[in-house]
Structure 1
Amino acid sequence: MSQGRSIRLFLVDGTPTGLLTAEIMNWTGHALTGPRSKLVELIQRPECARTGVDFFIGPDPQDSLRTQVYIGESDDVAQRLKQHNRTEDQGGKDFWERVCLVTSKDLNLTKAHAKFLESRLMNVARNIGQCTLINGTAHDYGNLPESDRADMEYFLEQIRIVLPVLGFEFLRDVTKPSQIRLANDIHPITVSQSPIFELSKKGSPIKARAQEIDGEFFVLKGSNASASWTSTPHCYQTLHTRLIEDSIFPLSENGLRVFADDYAFKSPSAAAAVILGRAASGRTAWLMESTGQTYAAWQEQQVAALKPAQPALPPTD
């Protein structure tokens, strides 16, 4: 099981929609985020006079389920914010609605460090594929001394921990069931995982298998899905279309779609809807492979098995 972390969040102006800072215990990094509407307050923050990396985030007009992200670096973040606040024809960027700045509290982050982080962050974001990255080609800044590269890799790991806490998921990687099976062949790893669940469609050869890993509901590689959305319009229809465009489950010779790899869904219902091509309640549609128990019944059984918390004992003299 992963070790716990302590993250300190601070609402700068006392509101959940304003500026927010985040720090991890024993990490020299410091994250600051806020909406574009708070640009004046952002620029006046002392962090903006430091060297660091920045993330400009906004909606993707071509895909409502994705975000657009621009990753940059600067030794004067305030100037970078002013530049990107201009209109597109003046060299700015119109798309972004929020910004996140990551700097160093001890001021030891140099321009070379920031360039290295920018390059690595762009590569990580592209490999994960959870956002539309609008940067150009990432340059390789691997000429840092070996000790500095090691320090920056650790700094990068902390960025990938703190950004999801602030609501930015595009750097968060997930451990797929197939990766766990391969890892266990070499060295057992400890994760929270459910039994295997199955989903089928009456009168259809569609059959899918899934497993919940650390709260993520994965449809397993080789599972079948409906070739198209077959019911009335629904929010999950957009997801079905996006997975087709991203080649997550290409069309096979038998007319069904087949998942090319394990794929994580936000919920059992999202997975069931995409597979069946219509809205569905995943809590009752998914059945445990070994017993036929529904996902909902299995989950309720886990809750019922919990031992009640013991009352605190009164202090003794």
Structure 2
Amino acid sequence: MTQGRSIRLFLVDGTPNGLLTAEIMNWTGHVLTGPRSKLSELVQRPECGRTGIYFLIGPDPEGSTRPLVYIGESDDVATRLKQHNRPEEKGGKDFWEKVCLVTSKDQNLTKAHVKYLESLLIQSAAQVGRCKLINGTAHEYINLPESDRADMAFFLEQIRTVLPVLGFDFLRDMHRPSLSDKAASEPSISDVPRFRMEIKRDSLTAYAQEVDGEFIVLEGSQARVEWTDQKHNYRTLFKQLCDEGVLVDNGDGYRRFATDYAFGSPSPAAAMVAGRAANGRKDWKVESTGQTYADWQDQQVSAAATSLG
């Protein structure tokens, strides 16, 4: 069974929209994040004078559901952030609205460490595919002793753990965990049902599973070739998945998922299959029983409540 973790959050100015720090027990890393509007306060913090990794995050002006992200490193993060805050025509970056920086409490991170981390993080973010990277291609940096590379691999995993807690999901794995791999540590994974959605008029069938809090449409699932509901915002997501090669035209009247793809809930997943707005809680059904997702979930909650009683 997966071990629990303790993350300590601190609201620096006592407000949820201000500066925030985060630490994980038994990890030397220290995370500081805040909105761009608080940059003048953030750069005065002692963490900003250290060597570290930083992330600039902002919305995509082209309407994509994925944020724009820039990943950088510096041995004086405050100076780099001041440079990025300049207007675009003066060498700055206009897109970002939030900043997150990661340093070390024991100040043992060196320039070589953060250059290596930057390379790993850019590769990881590009592979996961939850954001649009401003960096472009990553420069592979391998000039680090083997023991230090092992330390940085651990450091990276802690960053991947803490950032989603702060609302930054761009390093969180998009694809479902291997069920065979998880079976050894989590016997209950075999109880996770496979859901099926059919559009009989078009002879389309899709499959999905709910894993780690995400609803994942499985590779090979079919979907309508075009979006038909022009008034719904999900049309932007449908176009995005088509443009990115997640939904590919199969050439015989429908699209298919070229890879597993994670959604936050069943309804957007159902909409991508149907090509229009859909109620995923009713449209997705347990493959083995025909029970709707809503009824299945209600059964799980009721069973849990009964066991507690």
Contact 2:129 2:174 in 1 (8 A): no
Contact 1:30 1:103 in 2 (8 A): yes
CA deviation vs aligned residue, 1:28-68 (integer Å, no higher than 9, x gap): 00000000100110011010111001101111112330111
- What residue is the counterpart of 2:65 in the other structure? 65
Contact 2:267 2:281 in 1 (8 A): yes
Find the structure with the greater CA-based Rg: 1
Change over 3 Å in CA distance of 1:197–1:131 after alignment to 2: same
CA deviation vs aligned residue, 1:122-151 (integer Å, no higher than 9, x gap): 111111111111114322221211111111
State the identity %: 64
Contact 2:64 2:237 in 1 (8 A): no
Give the Å deviation of 1:180: 2.3
Change over 3 Å in CA distance of 1:123–1:129 after alignment to 2: same
- What residue is the counterpart of 1:278 in the other structure? 276
CA deviation vs aligned residue, 1:134-172 (integer Å, no higher than 9, x gap): 114322221211111111111111011111111111111
2:246 aligned with 1:248: yes
Amino acid of the structure 2 residue aligned with 1:244:
C
- What residue is the counterpart of 1:56 in the other structure? 56
Distance 1:76 1:26 in 2: 25
Amino acid of the structure 2 residue aligned with 1:231:
D
Distance 2:23 2:260 in 1: 33
Q: Secondary structure at 1:60's aligned position in 2?
A: coil
Distance 1:4 1:72 in 2: 30
CA RMSD of aligned residues (A): 1.5
Superposed, 1:107-186 pairs within 5 Å as 107-176=107-176, 179-181=178-180, 183=181
CA deviation vs aligned residue, 1:48-102 (integer Å, no higher than 9, x gap): 1110011011111123301111111111111011111101111111111000010
Between stretches 298-307 and 42-51, larger displacement belongs to 298-307
Number of residues of Structure 1 aligned to a counterpart in Structure 2? 306
Contact 1:180 1:189 in 2 (8 A): no
2:175 aligned with 1:188: no
Contact 2:2 2:185 in 1 (8 A): no
CA deviation vs aligned residue, 1:264-310 (integer Å, no higher than 9, x gap): 11111111111111111111111111111111111111111123546
Distance 1:225 1:140 in 2: 38
Between stretches 203-212 and 96-105, larger displacement belongs to 203-212
Q: Secondary structure at 1:95's aligned position in 2?
A: coil
- What residue is the counterpart of 1:263 in the other structure? 261
Distance 1:201 1:137 in 2: 40
Q: Secondary structure at 1:199's aligned position in 2?
A: strand
Give the Å deviation of 1:232: 3.9
TM-score, L = length of structure 1: 0.93
2:171 aligned with 1:208: no
Amino acid of the structure 2 residue aligned with 1:180:
L
Amino acid of the structure 2 residue aligned with 1:293:
Q
Give the Å deviation of 1:2: 1.5
Q: Secondary structure at 1:63's aligned position in 2?
A: coil
Distance 1:146 1:231 in 2: 54
Distance 1:30 1:285 in 2: 44
CA deviation vs aligned residue, 1:213-232 (integer Å, no higher than 9, x gap): 12211111111101011224
Contact 1:55 1:101 in 2 (8 A): yes
Amino acid of the structure 2 residue aligned with 1:219:
V
- What residue is the counterpart of 1:106 in the other structure? 106
Distance 1:308 1:293 in 2: 22
Q: Secondary structure at 2:64's aligned position in 1?
A: strand
Give the Å deviation of 1:175: 4.7
Q: Secondary structure at 1:198's aligned position in 2?
A: strand
Contact 2:175 2:260 in 1 (8 A): no
Amino acid of the structure 2 residue aligned with 1:271:
A
Gaps of 5+ in 1: 311-317
Contact 1:117 1:152 in 2 (8 A): yes
Change over 3 Å in CA distance of 1:39–1:247 after alignment to 2: same
Distance 2:49 2:3 in 1: 34
